[in-house]
Structure 1
Amino acid sequence: MAAPASIVEGFERSLRECLSPFGFEVQPFKVGWYNAVLQPSLHLSHPEDTLAVLVLSAPQMFEKAFKPFLKNREFKNIRDPIDECVAHYVSRAVSQSFPAQKVEVSYDYEMLPNRRPRFLAQTAAHAAGAAYYYQRKDITADPWGNKKMYGVCMHPRYRGWFAIRALLVFPGVGAEGLVQRDPPDCVPSQELRIELLERFNLRWQDWSYRDIVPVEERYSEEQKTYFNTPPADRLKLLQESGDLQICPSY
């Protein structure tokens, strides 16, 4: 069923009102834009005009959502605090905004029984126009031979200082009025693209790929320390740091 443009805009506006104050961004797109660049086995099983919305976290999410979420938490039976935080805010936004509408929510960390991710986050970000997915095919003079090189998304404002968190699909809601726009190409030169992929693939731990071009906002030192901590040690870090005013450890 095709939804009037005003309804699609209303869905987007409702999500923005719920999520933007907590450092999240939302970007609507059509399922068909995503499916068009993937082999059939990776398709989302919905008609191509079905409305989907991608949820991203900006650097502010740590201060606006994560730290408030941690207050009064006992950290029992929590697999990953960030994942729990994202699920809390997204599920609340969905239930408040669409109490009578079916919404299929997939998170970036969820896997299918065949061990494939429920959706390809970076492909979705590019298809939605939210972030440019730089891949080996974007290099005209490939210098790597047979070496495997993974691609990476860059946000038009935050460059590498953001994360793709969730995919919302609205079964039965058509989005024919949406117009696809290419994501901003913020790493236009071949030299910088090569440097980006090499930094990401060969020394991602130093985080320098995130600053390959000038950036408006990046993670705080506190946030960097948290994400630099091995996942198995993050709960301990939170428990020992009180209000999370942790000092950089590098």
Structure 2
Amino acid sequence: MGGSQSTFQGFNLQEDAFDAEEFKEALDAWLAPMHLQSSRPFLIGWYNQQREITADGTQRIEGPDDGVAYAVYSVPGYLDVVIEHFARERPSTGFVDGATDAILAQLRQALPAELEPQVVNTDEGPPYYHVQTIGNVCAEDEHIEAKDIPNDGDDWEEDLSDRLEETRDPKMWGSESEMLRKIFGVNVHPTWGGWYAYRALIVLRKGTQASLQKPEPMAFLATEDKKRILAEYNLRHQLCVWRDLSDSHPAEKRYSPEEYFFFTETSPDKRRRFLEMKASLMTAVPAPRWPSL
């Protein structure tokens, strides 16, 4: 696995000279045409340590503690990549994962083999990884939990739980009060808000950098915005209002109306029909966007 591609050439790939930040620049340059971005680099050990604390060590990343890894996430515009993949391949199902897998297959060939890269679609697995933990440990986004918001006497948490218990359907959520009242946490990006989606994990087992400094957890949201986002996320998740950082969230930093409807649509048949209609408007089958090997 692995090959030579101009984006990743010019690196000194000796273990004691690997530069995670420099490699991220090359990685982002390769990903950009597909409306994909990479997270800040993080060490395998950071993630595994956090999983020990929060989840009894489940969903660990196998590799040396000082091995470097990156998450890959899609941003607004990724639907165009999915449509183009459909026009080329005409899959009957797995439209988004199929487009992602095609990109990741090319990326595996482009990454230097000396780094022993592992590239995994985090929406499929196995193996399975916890992307919220990844986003948190590399400070790519801010994780919001109700319990972490200071109580300023307005009883907002209790009020929100009351509303959830009143509106959640026991047929879906069960009859236990604890689950009906539970406020689920969410990650939010400082640029994209909630208008992004983790797609892949890249692990470089021979790309080690023990000197990489662990960033402080990201904290950019005001308390009132945290409350609003958690309320929208739990009460009206499907409307995606929670994805906006504020009432003035830039339109270019959110999904297009078509992306909103496509990515919230749960019917594979409707998704396929949409893709068929979009592909029928093309005058020619588009070439893949990834750089040539």
TM-score, normalising length: structure 2: 0.72
Instruction: Give runs of aligned pairs for residues 124-135 of structure 1, distance below 5 A.
Output: 124-135=134-145
Does the CA-based 8 Å contact 1:157-1:215 persist in structure 2? Answer: no
What is the RMSD of the two structures over their aligned residues, measured on CA atoms? 2.6
Which amino acid is the alignment partner of residue 110 of structure 1?
Answer: E
The alignment partner of 1:43 has SS state of: coil
Matched, 1:67 2:103: no
Give CA deviations for 1:105-147 in whole Å, capped at 9, x if unaligned: 22222244xxxx7100111011112111212332233434842
Aligned counterparts of 2:22 and 2:233: Cα–Cα separation in 1: 38
Larger Rg: 2
Greater mean alpha carbon deviation, residues 47-56 or residues 133-142? 133-142
2:262 corresponds in structure 1 to 226
1:31 to 22, 44, 69: 44
1:109 maps to a residue whose letter is D
Report sequence identity in percent: 24
Once the two structures are superposed, the pairs formed by residues 87-98 of structure 1 within 5 Å of their partners are: 87-98=101-112
Distance 2:98 2:209 in 1: 30
State whether residues 66 and 210 of structure 2, in contact with CA within 8 Å, keep that contact through their aligned partners in structure 1: yes
Question: Deviation at 1:195?
Answer: 2.1
- Is the Cα contact below 8 Å between 2:66 and 2:208 reproduced in 1? yes
In the alignment, which of 225, 230, 248 is matched to residue 192 of structure 1?
A: 225
Displacement of 1:81: 1.0
In 2: Cα distance, 1:104 partner to 1:153 partner: 25
Q: Distance in 2 between matches of 1:37 and 1:231?
A: 36
CA deviation string 1:41-62 (max 9, x = no partner): 3332323211111101111322
Higher mean C-alpha displacement, 125-134 vs 176-185 = 176-185
CA distance in 1, matches of 2:216, 2:101: 28
- Contact (CA 8 Å) 1:187, 1:193: kept in 2 or not? yes
RCO higher in structure (CA 8 A, sep ≥6): 2
Change (3 A) 1:95 1:50: same
8 Å CA contact retained: 1:55, 1:166 = yes
Contact 2:142–2:187 (8 Å) recurs in 1: yes
Q: Which amino acid aligns with 2:274?
A: L
> Structure 1 residues 149 and 128 mapped into 2: Cα distance closer, same or farther (>3 Å)?
same
Between Structure 1 and Structure 2, how many residues are aligned? 237
Q: How does 1:5-84 map to 2 (within 5 A)?
A: 5-27=17-39, 28-39=41-52, 40-63=57-80, 65-76=81-92, 79-84=93-98
**2:83–2:278 Cα contact (<8 Å) kept:** no
**How far apart, CA to CA, are the structure 2 residues paired with 1:84 and 1:243?**
19
Give the superposition deviation at 1:173. 2.6
Contact 1:238 1:244 in 2 (8 A): no
Q: Which runs of 5+ in 2 are unaligned?
A: 1-12, 152-156, 163-177, 283-293
Gaps (5+ residues) in structure 1?
A: 246-250
Alignment of 1:146-185 (within 5 A): 146=178, 147-182=181-216, 184-185=218-219
Report which of the two has the higher share of helix. Answer: 2
Q: Which residue of 2 aligns with 1:3?
A: 15
Q: Compute the displacement of 1:224 (Å).
A: 1.4
Find the aligned partners of 1:5 and 1:156 in 2 and give their Cα distance.
31
The one-letter amino acid paired with 2:231 is: E
Q: Which amino acid aligns with 1:156?
A: P
Q: CA deviation at 1:167?
A: 0.7
CA contact (8 A) 1:67 1:244 kept: no
Report deviation, 1:75.
Answer: 2.0
Deviations 1:41-97 (A, max 9, x none): 33323232111111011113223x333323332224xx3211111121122123113
Quick check: 1:14–1:97 contact (8 Å CA) kept in 2?
no
